[in-house]
Amino acid sequence: MSNTTIDLLNNHKSIRAFTDQPVSDEIVKTILTAASAGPNINNYQPVTFVEITDQALKAEITAQVGMAYIESAMRYFVVTVDFNKDLIGLTPEVRKQAEEVLSSYAMLEGGIISAGIALGRAQVAAESLGLGSVTMAGALRAFELYEEKLQLPKLVKAVMGFSIGFPAQEPGIKPKLPIDGTWMKDRYKQNQMVEAISVYDETMVKYYADRGVDSSWTQNNAKMLTRKQDNKKLGKYPQLKGFSLK
Domains in the chain, CATH or no CATH each: 4-170+231-240 (3.40.109.10), 174-215 (no CATH)
Alpha helices in the chain (DSSP H): 4-10, 25-36, 55-65, 68-71, 92-102, 105-128, 143-150, 190-209, 217-226, 232-240
Angle 240-33-42 from CA coordinates, rounded to 5°: 55
pLDDT at residue 3, rounded to an integer: 97
What are φ and ψ of residue 48, in 5° steps? -130, 130
pLDDT in tens, 9-66: 999 999 999 999 999 999 999 999 999 999 999 999 999 999 999 999 999 999 999 9
pLDDT at residue 228, rounded to an integer: 87
Q: What is the dihedral of CA 99, 103, 109, 111, to 10 degrees?
A: 40
Q: Which helix (H) or strand (E) is 163 found in, with range? A: strand 156-165
The average pLDDT across 92-110 equals 97
pLDDT above 70: percentage of residues in the chain: 100
pLDDT in tens, 125-175: 999 999 999 999 999 999 999 999 999 999 999 999 999 999 999 999 999
One-letter amino acid for residue 199 of the chain: V
pLDDT at residue 229, rounded to an integer: 81
pLDDT above 90: percentage of residues in the chain: 96
The average pLDDT across 171-196 equals 97
If pLDDT is split at 50, 70 and 90, which confidence band does 231 have? confident
